[in-house]
Amino acid sequence: MTTKMKLGVLTGGGDCPGLNAVLRAVVKTAINDYEMEVVGFLDGYEGLIENRYRKMVSSDVSGILTLGGTILGTSNRADPFHFPVLQNDEYIYLDRSSQALQNFERLGLDALIAIGGDGTMAASNGMAQKGLNVIGVPKTIDNDLYGTDQTFGFDSALATASEAIDKIHSTAQAHHRVMIIEVMGRYSGWLALASGVASGGDIVLIPEMPYQIDVICDKIRTRNRDGRNFSIIVIGEGAKPEGGEMVVKRIIANSPDKIRLGGISNQLAAQIEGITTLETRVTILGHLLRGGGPTAFDRILASRFGTAAVHLAFQKKFGFMVGLHGNEIGQVPIADVAGKNRKIEADSSLLKTALSLGTCMGVDSLDVLRSQQVPV
């Protein structure tokens, strides 16, 4: 008789819709297909480091497919190689990766499925190099993870952003205002560009294309002259003016990703009002984009990712991250994912669609496409 495999699973980084759908798929596939035992670590890698976990059976994941958040909890500060420990009212940082590996081995686990974004994949790559049998599942509303055409969580955040922008349209039109909607996305503009196209945004500003304030104001004036006396601007939190810097909202000292962006929309609004004298209002969607249940697309994608990760574990194909490639689920080495950021490229079909629809990108967009200024 063969010994049953024992599987660990954790959810790391920021929360997003679809995490529970992956957990459900992992647990059900592990039990139904392979009769595996499953252990869920609490609060991401923090649970593995501190040996906090719970055994998981099918009844634990019943009814969670549509729920937002994660029943295991998560943490975006739990880097095993740079783990914050409070001593004398100050944080010091320790390498707790060996402790995490020891806990994994003491529990008799055969593999760990780590669900998360770039921070979780970077930590998982480091742990894989130390001998941990890990498989990654890509998660983020930002859609900026290398190695997959789309992450789960993105479609849900896009639906939330699009609905919010749709509602702002009516008040912008009624009051003849310029309305700026700021969305998350960090250093990539996928969420801003997609929600702008989905909601008919007049101007879309993304981190990959530093904007020119004169181009933006000219677009607004042109719309007014044509009788369209309101404008909708969608801006990614990582956008910046040409020759300027991103707006940093705060610094989190005890976090692997210390910079928290936010507030560029307020800076832009002041500039537009000063130049055009038009009333300009700001809405920052912020963490609203992470909340709520997943869309049908994300429920399906998360489920496909979860089942695929378990199949890889059974096949002992460790050190890979599952991903969406076209319409199929494939895998890519986690080492190829760690430390990389997926940005909008010059040949992006979504960017070209926005330009064909007449969307202003805050620059002379045709020149951008010709000169390949949008970074790979």
**What is the DSSP track for 7-57?**
EEEEE-SS--TTHHHHHHHHHHHHHHHH--EEEEETTTHHHHHHT-EEEE-
Query: Distance (Å, rounded) from C-alpha 131 to C-alpha 127?
Result: 7
3-state secondary structure of 211: strand
Question: Quick check: is 142 catalytic?
Answer: yes
Cα(214)–Cα(238) distance, integer angstroms: 19
Contact 122/339 with Cβ under 8 angstroms? yes
**Taking the chain, what is the end-to-end CA distance rounded to the nearest angstrom?**
51
Integer Cα distance of 344 and 180 in angstroms: 21
What is the helix (H) or strand (E) element at residue 306, kind and residue range?
Answer: helix 296-314
The one-character DSSP state at 356 is H
131, 353 contact by CB (below 8 A)? no
Q: How far apart (Å, rounded) are the C-alpha atoms in residues 374 and 347?
A: 9
How buried is 215 (Cβ within 10 angstroms: 0-12 exposed, 13-18 middle, 19+ buried)? middle
Catalytic pick among 43, 110, 142, 144: 142
Alpha-carbon separation of residue 240 from 26, 55, 247, 282 (angstroms): 40, 46, 8, 16
Q: Is 86 helix (H, G, I), strand (E, B) or coil?
A: strand
Catalytic residue numbers read 142
